[in-house]
Amino acid sequence: MQSVFKLKGHVCRCMISLRRLKLSDKSLSLRPSSSSSPDVKELAKMAQIAVSDAEAKEWQPKINSIIDWFGQLQKAQVSGVTPSIHAVEEGIPLRIDQPVLHEARSEVLALAPSVERGYIRVPKTGIGADSLGASAGSGAEETNVTSSSSPGLAPITVSEPVATSVNAAANTVAEVEDRALSAPPTKEELEAFQALDLRVGKIVSCEKHPDADSLYVEKIDVGEPELRTIVSGLVKFVPIEQMQDRSVIVICNLKPRNMRGIKSFGMVLAASNSEHTVVEPIAAPPESKPGERIFVGEHKDQAPPATANVVEKKKHWENVQPGLVTAEDRSVTWRGLKLQVLAGTITSTGLVGARVA
């Protein structure tokens, strides 16, 4: 039976293909009354279907009955029947999607029994209120939770310990992450930082990307014989006049990326506030020279940077980046250690407590 359904599906595709190609009856006879059966291999070839010899041998005796079945379908009365979706094929425009903003976020969070490693653990589908209450413990007080921004929502009854445990778990996760990022780096973590080729750079020229309104295309001196082409998304945050001759910090051993048709050979580091409304490149002291490598703390002696392939494979940048922040004195730090060159500390112009990426 399964092979018959498969054959029907293939013949259906064949019929559609023949209809589109507008083949004449002389090209391939599909009439049930024909004295000879159509060749399954020929049908499959017309519909661009891969059919094995075993399938062709099995289906050949059934082909006439299948075609007769399609012939009967052609005679079916379908007037007044709502057609199925063939909008793309027939040129009928699909309805416009109506996205719905879920504003009851607090209710969803309140129903989650716990948070684990930054992810909310939600109850299994189908469990009742009794089991939810049981998981929160006996004697739990109930409260109605509603969203002021969602007047049409019915109150949701939740247990106080559930909501409390969610908030406590979320705070615990955030505190653990903050402590981990501010703790001194281990030997392996320090080696990951030193595998990055962070250098002082000077922007020699800057122009807007011809095909992207939010991107600059910069030529940057990083101490090499030739200038590096680097593409940065700073148009909305830094006027082009302020980019010219600017001191920046560049990661030089990332794999080149194609940015809207222009290959970028590195990345300019910038600090940004939490809303990402203020973004500014970080900079080295004026006395520093293009090409100087960045180090942290007292670790001036560094091993040669890793290759771009190694940086990508071991995810060195992804592991280092979360620990980069600006301190109260606007210095850029990693895991509590200041980023430095021989002339002094890497700084942000005005952002404090900002992430650097």
- Three-class secondary structure of residue 216 per DSSP: strand
Each residue's pLDDT tens digit, 101-154:
655 666 655 555 555 555 655 555 544 444 444 444 444 444 444 444 444 444
Report d(CA 228, CA 207) in Å as an integer.
14
Please identify which residue in the block is written with the tokens 């083949």: 23
Each residue's pLDDT tens digit, 156-192:
444 455 445 445 544 444 454 455 466 788 989 999 9
Among 18, 43, 72, where does a domain finish? 72
Whose CA is closest to 271, among 323, 332, 196?
332
Does residue 82 sit within a domain? no
Do 67 and 206 fall within a single domain?
no
Give the pLDDT of residue 8.
Answer: 58
Does residue 173 sit within a domain? no
Does residue 300 sit within a domain? yes
Give the pLDDT of residue 232.
Answer: 95
pLDDT at 42 over 50: yes
Give the pLDDT of residue 250.
Answer: 98
Report d(CA 333, CA 340) in Å as an integer.
9
Calculate the CA 120 to chain-centre distance.
19
Each residue's pLDDT tens digit, 272-323:
998 999 999 999 999 999 999 999 988 888 889 999 999 999 999 999 999 9
In angstroms, what is the C-alpha Rg of the chain?
A: 33
Number of domains in the chain: 2
**Partners of 337 in the beta sheet?**
334
- DSSP H helical segments within 158-301, as ranges? 160-182, 187-194, 240-243
Report d(CA 40, CA 62) in Å as an integer.
10
Inter-CA distances, 210 with 28, 232, 240, 261, Å: 54, 13, 14, 9
List the CATH number of the domain containing 244.
2.40.50.140
Burial of 241 by CB count in 10 Å (0-12 exposed, 13-18 middle, 19+ buried)?
A: exposed
Do 325 and 199 fall within a single domain?
yes
Does residue 310 sit within a domain? yes
Among 50, 72, 94, where does a domain finish? 72
Does residue 255 sit within a domain? yes
Do 200 and 345 fall within a single domain?
yes
Do 195 and 63 fall within a single domain?
no
Does residue 267 sit within a domain? yes
Does residue 25 sit within a domain? yes
For every residue of 264-322, DSSP letters joined together read E-SEE-EEE-TTS--EEE-B--TT--TTPBPEETT----PPPPPHHHHHHTTHHHHHGG
Domain assignment of residue 30, given as a range: 2-72
Does residue 339 sit within a domain? yes
Among 40, 72, 104, where does a domain finish? 72
